[in-house]
Chains A and B, each alone.
Chain A
Amino acid sequence: MRRWGALAIVAALIAIGPSGAGAQAPLIKVGVPGPLQLAVGQGILYGLQLAAGEINAAGGILGRKLTVVPEDEAENPEIGIAAIRKLIESNKVDVLIGGQTSGVTLAQLPVISRGKIVYLGVGAASPLITDQVRKDYANFKYIFRVTPVNSTYLGFALADFVDEFAKTELKATKIAIVGENLVWVQGVLPAMERRLAEKQGVQVVYKELFDVRTTDFSPMFAKARAAGAQFVVPLMSHASSDVVVKAYASLKVPVPWGGIDVKQQEADACEKLGGASVGEVVLFGSPPLKVAVTPKSIPFLEKYTDRFKRAPVYTSFGAYDAMYIYKAAVEKAQTLDPEKVIPFLEKTDYVGASAHVVFDEAHDVRYGPGYAVETMVQWQDGCKRALIWPRSLATGKYVPLAWMR
């Protein structure tokens, strides 16, 4: 019986053959390595699904439809390498769009390079990733970063925020910087301190890089207070952020704070922590609010929220833009051959949902006026969010926490 069934399927396939599936152009496979169980990983997938759906509806790329092939890298370098290998060797994907943890992406680079496949990073911030392009172009030219701006630029953005907001509006001239002892922070920190030194008037009175497994942050906040800090800048991207945020709220730390906190970018982060995030000001490359960073920002936000019933995270913006950037380059090259697509990717000048995307010589997205911008969004009462910096894009005003009013 089973044999007859198999024969029937084969016969049907032969019959469909020339006029059916066989006549269709092969799919373009978009490999998606990312921490798919986390909001930032799901954000990549959803952003790509949205873009791929739109592109497919409009006829695809060079007449070929897109299909998205996700692979979980689980914030673990070993799993990340296995994910890239599987995508390249087994799934035979045509392009890779994803990434979030810098340590994982750095571990994956040699595999991507050997696979000679275009990789558009949308999550990891370490400048060491794109430094590889600068140092060894022949082997690492496949690597591009669409979002976020690299951690050096993130450091500049934070210094600008401290100067223009903490110093000017809150009159805070003494700050504490507390961050995870991880690769990306080691990029942000010196850049931020350098920029602050240039700006003058703000003194870093306490600095602490903590182990992400730390369970008690009471001593850290006690030290920050004892040092006289008037503003705390957190640099966090992992689960430990929740522990720090809960410690801050449960201790009712009487010092305002704002910085990089990827976990608290998630739409439901504040509710999950029972409102502990309220008061924190969080950096967003692409704010999940109705703010026209570019003409495409609000339409993307609405489409995304409408389809997935949740607000996008920064990787969603990046993935969506990366798909269109790849499409434009392939259409100009008239081929998927990475060697021919890369020169067109390098010439990218694309106004996306995240920013006006232009790559520098290291294939890193440019930062500054006219290019990618960074914004600061505060969690406010009722777990609502308001963009408070830069003023030109502000949707609300900074609200101090009840115990500091």
Chain B
Amino acid sequence: MVDVLILGAINSAVYAMLALGFTLIFGVGRVVNLAHGSFYAMGVYIAYTLVVVLGLPLIVGTTAAVLAVAGIGLAMDRVLIRPLRHSVLAVLIITVVFALFVEQVIFAFYGYTSRNIPSFTTNTLTVLGVTVAGQRAIAFAAGVIALSLVWLLVYRTRFGSAILAVSQDREAATYLGIDVDHVSRTVMVLSAALAAMAGVLVAPVLVVSPQMWVLPLIKSFAVVILGGLGSIPGSLLASVLLGYSETAVSRFVSSTLTELIPLVLILVTLLVRPSGLLGRRIEL
């Protein structure tokens, strides 16, 4: 039981990193970004290229990868999303097309063969008698720090107030003198960086492949739907629920069923409580 508590916490932190950006973008811009998983995959492939192909030190390569993806997020906002922001459907389509485009570019350059990037550490950690892989512990610690910083940014700074204002009412925020486009752009950059960070932190314990954007997208979706689209506390709560339920099912039932959980959560939430645990009903 203790192992579920510890291993579940690690998974929860990774899911929270993934989902927080997804929910922020939706909250601020009403953008359902189906390319969110691509930020994760691009982070990993750029890190792979810099670290394994070009031989840069791991910390340099992964940091550069996160920054590069943040830049891609900025470009995506400017070139793809901003011109289409008036249409939710158009944005939905352009983001899924972008995701497929990224997958095909990765496929063209790297093929479908799986690849590996090295770990930050090969040490293990024992917490309450449970052995934890050092790399997962680092992912957890980095995730908690990143999430805390985002929390402080949103709830303790003037810019965070602007984010919340735009989330509540985009038009009213404009009348208040808030640069709505600047807020949207910054949130997109933050979201892309968080997803890429989640990618480079967990990639060393996974394999790198062109389709690796799909699962993170499904999990982000599950978290934000369960937590309530656009709700930051809801996403954090849902990340914990998803992380723990997956670990518990894997531990007490079968790991074969693990990947079913996010899909079940999406279905049940949409049927029983469409606004999610902490979300509010909105019109798109």
Contacts and interface: CB of A to CB of B under 8 A. Distances in A.
Do the two chains belong together in a single complex? yes
Interface of A: 37-38, 74-75, 181, 208-211, 213-220, 222-223, 239-240, 242-243, 246-247, 249-252, 272-274
A251 B255 contact: no
A251 B209 contact: no
Contacts of A211: 255-259
13 contacts: A208-B255, A211-B258, A216-B258, A218-B136, A219-B7, A219-B247, A246-B119, A250-B119, A250-B122, A250-B133, A252-B131, A274-B118, A274-B122
Contacts of B258: 211, 214, 216
Contacts of B4: 219
A251 B112 contact: no
A216 B7 contact: yes
A252 B126 CA distance: 11
B3 A210 contact: no
A243 B259 contact: no
Contacts of A252: 124, 131
Nearest to B137: A250
Interface of B: 3-4, 7, 11, 111-116, 118-119, 122, 124, 130-136, 202, 204-207, 209, 215, 246-247, 250-251, 254-259
A230 B4 CA distance: 22
Contacts of B204: 246
A213 B202 CA distance: 14
Nearest to A220: B255
B273 to A, nearest CB: 27
Contact of A218 (B7, B118, B134, B254): B7
A223 B251 contact: yes
B131 A274 contact: no
B259 A242 contact: no
A222 B1 CA distance: 11
Given A210-B255, A218-B132, A250-B136, 13 more contacts: A208-B255, A208-B256, A213-B215, A214-B259, A216-B250, A218-B133, A222-B7, A223-B251, A242-B116, A252-B124, A273-B116, A274-B116, A274-B119
Contacts of A218: 3, 7, 132-133, 136
Contact of B215 (A74, A209, A215, A243): A215
A205 to B, nearest CB: 16
Contacts of B3: 218-219, 222
B250 A220 contact: yes
A200 to B, nearest CB: 28
Contact of A216 (B207, B247, B254): B247
Contacts of B7: 216, 218-219, 222
A209 B254 CA distance: 8
A213 B218 CA distance: 13
Nearest to A213: B259
A273 B116 CA distance: 7
A240 B206 CA distance: 8
Given A213-B259, A242-B207, A251 B131 contact: yes
Contact of B256 (A75, A210, A249, A272): A210
Contacts of A272: 115-116
Contact of A38 (B113, B119, B255): B113
B133 A247 contact: yes
Nearest to A240: B207
Nearest to A252: B124
A250 B247 contact: no
A250 B205 contact: yes
A164 B118 CA distance: 36
A243 to B, nearest CB: 5
Given A38-B113, A243-B207, A208 B254 contact: yes
Q: Looking at A222, A240, A247, A272, which has the most chain B CB atoms within 10 Å of its CB?
A: A222
Nearest to B7: A218
Contacts of A214: 250, 255, 258-259
Contacts of A251: 124, 131-133
Contact of A37 (B113, B205, B207): B113
Contact of A249 (B122, B215, B251): B122
Contacts of A240: 207
Shortest 7 CB-CB contacts between residues of A and residues of B:
A250-B133, A239-B114, A219-B251, A219-B250, A210-B255, A37-B111, A37-B113
Q: Looking at B3, B116, B134, B136, which has the most chain A CB atoms within 10 Å of its CB?
A: B116
Contacts of B130: 222
A215 B202 contact: yes
A218 B135 CA distance: 12
A187 B219 CA distance: 32
Contacts of B206: 215, 243, 246
Nearest to B209: A239
A208 B118 CA distance: 27
Contacts of A220: 250, 255
A244 to B, nearest CB: 10
Contacts of A213: 215, 259
A217 B258 CA distance: 11
A35 B255 CA distance: 27
A38 B110 CA distance: 12
A218 B132 CA distance: 8
A243 B116 CA distance: 9
Contacts of B118: 274
Contacts of A273: 116
A46 to B, nearest CB: 16
B38 to A, nearest CB: 17
A198 to B, nearest CB: 27
A208 B134 CA distance: 25
B119 to A, nearest CB: 7
Contact of A247 (B205, B246, B256): B205
A354 to B, nearest CB: 24
Nearest to B124: A252
B131 A242 contact: no
A202 B250 CA distance: 25
A33 to B, nearest CB: 15
Contact of B205 (A181, A209, A239, A243): A243
